[in-house]
Structure 1
Amino acid sequence: MRLLAVILIIAGLIFGISGLFDFVVNSVKFVFYILAILLLIGGIGMMFRRIKS
């Protein structure tokens, strides 16, 4: 019974760590997407300013 509990705890830790890792990776991807969008908006804005002037 104790062995089963240990196995369950270890499995839970492994799943928890992998889930946390996925969460961190997705957060980093999300930040990169926001940066890419901001850079695109900035670049397009600069091009429009050049066209106007």
Structure 2
Amino acid sequence: MKNAVYLLGFLAFFTLSTGIMFEFFHWPYSGKLMLLGFVLLNLGFLPTLFYKLYKIQKIA
């Protein structure tokens, strides 16, 4: 599970940063990349990270 959380976080931040770079250079598809990055971050990475932290705190 730990590797999946880190992989999802890497993909989210990589997609988001690529979208920001595309926006900076005024290249096409920048909006779609940033939207995909925000969706991966907010609906994928953050909930799994907080669930993992909650599960660790509940055990301790």
In the superposition, the TM-score normalised over structure 2's length comes to 0.49
The runs of 5 or more residues in structure 1 that have no matched partner are 1-7, 45-53
Aligned counterparts of 2:40 and 2:58: Cα–Cα separation in 1: 26
The runs of 5 or more residues in structure 2 that have no matched partner are 1-25
Hey, what does 1:15 align to over in structure 2?
30
Are 2:48 and 1:35 equivalent residues in the alignment?
no
User: Could you list the per-position Cα deviations for residues 9-48 of structure 1 after superposition, in whole angstroms to 9, with x for gaps in the alignment?
Assistant: xx2xx1111100011111111111100010001111xxxx
Root-mean-square deviation (CA, aligned residues, Å) is 1.5
Greater gyration radius:
1
Poorly superposed stretches of 4+, deviation over 4 Å: none
Report the residue type matching 2:36 in the other structure.
F
Q: Which has the higher contact order (CA 8 A, sep 6+)?
A: 2
- Report which of the two has the higher share of helix: 1
Number of equivalences: 33
In the superposition, the TM-score normalised over structure 1's length comes to 0.54
